[in-house]
Amino acid sequence: MPSFLKNGEKEKKQPLVYKLDLTRIQGDGEFPCPNCGVTISPEDETEDVYCILETKVDGQALEELIVQCNKCASQIRLIGFHILRGHCVAC
């Protein structure tokens, strides 16, 4: 055990962080957690499976969403929302 920890304390681990491009997934937006495989669905509003940590917007357009899997605590950066706006940002 590292000497800087008090007796009984557990070392806090940094959460695993993944980046997922929504333009590369098929279907209606659900995907498996890259770490533990639990299904994360945009239709699930209960926050039982995941919670939203941060949203990044540009004007009124959603650019990025950071969610955390409640099963394994991995953080997932969701990008590719420009496809939902119906046009390509690079075009």
pLDDT digits (tens, 9 = 90+) for 23-56: 898 888 899 999 999 999 999 989 999 999 999 9
Cβ neighbors of 4 (< 8 A, separation 6 or more) are none
User: Are the C-beta atoms of residues 21 and 41 closer than 8 Å to each other?
Assistant: no
pLDDT at 5 over 70: no
User: Are the C-beta atoms of residues 74 and 18 closer than 8 Å to each other?
Assistant: yes
33-80-16 Cα angle (round to 5): 35
pTM of the shown model: 0.75
